[in-house]
Chains A and B, each alone.
Chain A
Amino acid sequence: MTLGIPAAVTAAAEPPAARDRRHRPRRPALDTPRATRRAQTRLGIALVAPAMVLVVTFFLVPLVSAIYYAFVDFNGVNPNPSFVGLANFAELFQDAALWPALCNNAIWIVLGTAGPIVIGLVLALLMWGVGRSGALYRVAFFLPYVLPQVAVGVVWGWIYDPVRGWLNQALEIIGLGALRTGWLGNPDTALYAVLATAVWATSGFVFVILLAALRNVDTELVDASRLDGANTIQRLWFIVLPQIMPVFLMVTTITLVGGFSVFDIIFVMTGGGPAGASDVLGTVAYSEAFQLNRISYGTTIALVITLLAIPFAVCLNRLQRRLSLQGTGA
């Protein structure tokens, strides 16, 4: 059948798919007694069941429930809310408070993602070669991330206090008194003041994760590129970043998706004010659902937040997985 051609040559001439089919190992299940396979199936189901129960209970049921509420007019009391079809979704397009909030979300997503990534990466690169003494810095930079957001918001609220806050006092002392303002009560600065607090709190997390990724970077490649004349930026861009890219994307995904769902720190520091100037979709949804008793409309806004975040999360996740499978990265 091989016409005198050595097997190795035949194999090489065949398309890879055909070769894979021929050499695919027999399924071990065929060698396994039926009773054992059933037992294995049961064990698999038993092991997966708790996770599935949790997923169904805490993800699918609330999701289906949210979808249901988006199509009715529920005020939190009426057990039989009337079906309103797409009315809640239609209202989204006429809600004057929603578009500025969405715009604030966009600002938050861009700056709230870029800020911690840049600061965290710079800090991680600075700390890359530092030995044991770096532990103190790692703890110091990571600490804000483990603090409750409410506590962070309250403390930064004091810092931003227009009368006794040290930010305005420091500006006064260094001769920049003209920049003094009511940071959280000024519609031009409120969102950015809260955002700065969030960046401060998140940068430490990015720093620690990226620093861990940098530990796995092949330093021989870095040294070789240095010998080849690559400058710092080139080494970072062509040698270091590709190696930590999956981790980099994972961190980017987390901070970016957090930008869609941001709520707590804004709620604590400004409540979305003054007069909605720092409102994001999360605070508008909360206000509608729990302050104005429009549970259905608030739920609809929350669904929109989810729908907006999913494509970004999925794309970044797929990219991260592809890079990991390619063997790129830490």
Chain B
Amino acid sequence: MHISSLRASAIAVAGVSALLLSGCTGGAPTTGQDDDVVRYLIEQPEDASAVQALQDRLDGFTADSGVKVEVEAMPFDTMRTVLQTQLRSGEGPDVFNWGSGPGFGGVLAEAGLLYDLTDAYAEYDWPIYDFAKERVSFDGTLYGVPGEMETVGLFYNADLLAAEGIDVPESVADLEAAAVRLADAEIVPIAASDQEGWQGGHLLSMVLSSRVGSEGMDALVAGETSWDSPDVVASLQTWQDFLDAGQLPEFPTSLSYDGANALFYSGDAAMVPTGSWLISEIDDNVDFEVGYIPFPAEDGAGIFAGGLGSGPMISAGTTKPDAALQLVDYLASPDHGQWMVENLSVIPPQPIEADDLDVSPLFRQVLDDTAALSEGTGDFGYNIDVLMTDVFNEAMLDGMAAILSGQTGAAEVAASLQAAAEQ
């Protein structure tokens, strides 16, 4: 009896241990806590109320389709850090918005973490522009629906420039002259920031796009032109010169993106280099007139660096592929695209009836610019980071941080870019 009670206790201990371990290690991979709910993860928008607006919108989708959707928002930097880990662990969202191109969705597709949407494109016939579809293709498959169309350039405080008697810059020389006058007036000429690191890619993209044009960018991305060529070195040197001349904030690598925008909103900075995604926040936060221009070229106005923002993708590990596909079909529909333009100031890469929309002049300008891009009549550069590999992006972001913190020179960074491109 003594021994049998011991045996019983041993079995009990082993049982508890097994339960403990199964609790600790989890069971089979699952992407959702609730079998009825599709988890939809998006980047935290600039306007926090947009998350609720989207959830309300998707509640309507739920009413029609019966598919429950739970919208979750996460800051971009956090998402960049944890998304891949979440997807690998099987605990990630079913559907999530993420960037296209090799540096973003391409990495996930290569890692086998994305659901193949090639058949879904054929089945649902989403009206996505062809150039945008190319950005979400990997190894002959389509892994996502390309997201919002964006441009990257310079927002400027038109009232402040006028008050200082400065015309809107139409060339690099104009911009440099304006920066000198603004700095003399103790106004930060260009509120460039790089604390988070990702801004460096945009800073280089906008200068380089204007300097070499879209064909030059094509050649660089395709590897036909070297990344340590004189144009790349000169583009990097542009930011080093602005820094050395005191025409950027005092410590750009210590300044957060929000901090730089705050300098612009408060009138302490005359220009802020960023993308069209900021327009709704600018409209909400400033009471002065704001203009938006490409970073100027040596010999003219320059071109915007264009890119595609985040769009919906499905986790390869989802346990609800049908419901996830229904959601993506809804998100890619023209009706939802129209709603995004009107309510979120987001421009999807598909034809939009925008003539009658009541939007701000700034947003109207971007709508016209992106329409020109989609019609093939506009010339746009590229956001480099979405087109290049992770290794290259790391070299680029580290290189820009090194320049903006005075650690290295332009030629050295250009050499590291070429070395990374060759890997």
Contacts and interface: CB of A to CB of B under 8 A. Distances in A.
Contact of B255 (A57, A181, A185, A291): A185
- Majority SS at the chain B contact face: helix
Given A39-B3, A57-B21, A291 B394 contact: yes
Contacts of B404: 274
A42 B253 contact: no
B310 to A, nearest CB: 18
Interface residues of B, number: 49
Interface string B6-36: 1101100110110011001100000000000
Contacts of B7: 42
> For this complex, into which size category does the number of interface residues on chain A fall?
35 or more
Interface in A88-124: none
B85 to A, nearest CB: 6
Contacts of A49: 10, 13-14, 17
Contacts of B405: 185-187, 274-275, 277
A36 B2 CA distance: 9
B419 to A, nearest CB: 11
A274 B199 CA distance: 13
B13 A273 contact: no
A160 B254 contact: yes
Interface string B382-411: 000000001100100011011011111000
A162 B256 CA distance: 9
Given A77-B110, A287-B394, A291-B394, A162 B255 contact: yes
Interface string A9-44: 000000000000000000000000001101100110
B249 interface: yes
B107 interface: yes
B256 A50 contact: no
Interface in B50-87: 81, 84-85
B181 interface: no
Interface in A228-282: 271, 273-277
Given A163-B249, A292-B394, A293-B107, A182 B254 contact: yes
Interface in A183-230: 183-187
A290 interface: yes
Of B107, B405, B406, most buried by chain A (CB within 10 Å of CB) is B405
Contact of A275 (B2, B110, B399): B399
A164 interface: yes
Interface of A: 35-36, 38-39, 42-43, 45-47, 49-50, 53-54, 57-58, 75-77, 160-164, 180-187, 271, 273-277, 287, 290-293
Given A46-B13, A162-B255, 10 more contacts: A42-B6, A42-B7, A43-B6, A43-B10, A46-B9, A49-B13, A50-B13, A50-B17, A185-B255, A277-B405
